[in-house]
Amino acid sequence: MTRIRVTRRAVLTGMTGLAALAAFPVSASPDAALQQLKDWTKASAAKPGRVKLVLPEVADNGNAVPLEVAVESPMSEADYVRSIHIVADGNPHPAVASFHLTPANGRAHVTTRFRLAKSQRVTAWAVMNDGSVWGTRAAVTVTIGGCGAG
């Protein structure tokens, strides 16, 4: 017969790990996603317009959802997009991506793929060089979840 020796340190370490896991939300909320955008942009809200967010209405697989963001801007020294921020309000962590641009980019257009845990809304905000913030959002239905969800 094999004896397993359990020490107080092992129990406390296990409990600390469980507490750390419990501290992470199963999914973010629209409020958490909005707060992430506010933290990134230092703005309280975004004006509608200028930002075009392209996502599939239905994503067959949440592990690799294509995303495209384009912002109307001449990308000149006088008028350019400084950054683009994207959040998903139903993922375990709402932050999806931030892109930082300069007039040298030539156009304000980014594409990527990202994970979505479940069907949810995705929001994109663009910060212009004059400090104005523009944004839009789109809903995506996920049939097979990413981020460990089914």
- What DSSP line would sit under 16-61, residue for residue? HHHHHHHHS-SS--HHHHHHHHHHHH--S--EESSEEEE--SEES-
Tokens found for residue 113: 């793929």
Q: What is the pLDDT of residue 73?
A: 97
pLDDT at 16 over 60: no
Q: What is the pLDDT of residue 128?
A: 97
DSSP symbol at 11? H
Sheet containing 108-114: give its strands across: 51-54, 65-71, 108-114
Q: What is the pLDDT of residue 9?
A: 61
Bigger pLDDT: 15 vs 122: 122
Topology given in CATH for the domain delimited by 26-142: Immunoglobulin-like (2.60.40)
For 86-127, what is each residue's pLDDT tens digit?
Answer: 999 999 899 999 999 999 999 999 999 999 989 999 999 999
Asked if 83 and 127 count as a contact pair (C-beta separation under 8 A), the reply is yes
Question: For the chain, which residues make up each domain, given as ranges?
Answer: 26-142
pLDDT at 1 over 80: no
Q: What is the pLDDT of residue 22?
A: 42
Among candidates 79, 140, 75, 59, which has minimal Cα distance to 109? Answer: 75
Q: What is the pLDDT of residue 29?
A: 83
Tell me, what amino acid is at 145? G
Among candidates 30, 53, 32, which has minimal Cα distance to 138? Answer: 53
Bigger pLDDT: 59 vs 12: 59
Among candidates 116, 121, 124, which has minimal Cα distance to 145? Answer: 116
Tokens found for residue 126: 């663009």
Bigger pLDDT: 20 vs 53: 53
For 42-83, what is each residue's pLDDT tens digit?
Answer: 998 999 999 999 999 999 989 999 999 999 999 999 999 999
Q: What is the pLDDT of residue 30?
A: 86
Q: What is the pLDDT of residue 3?
A: 63
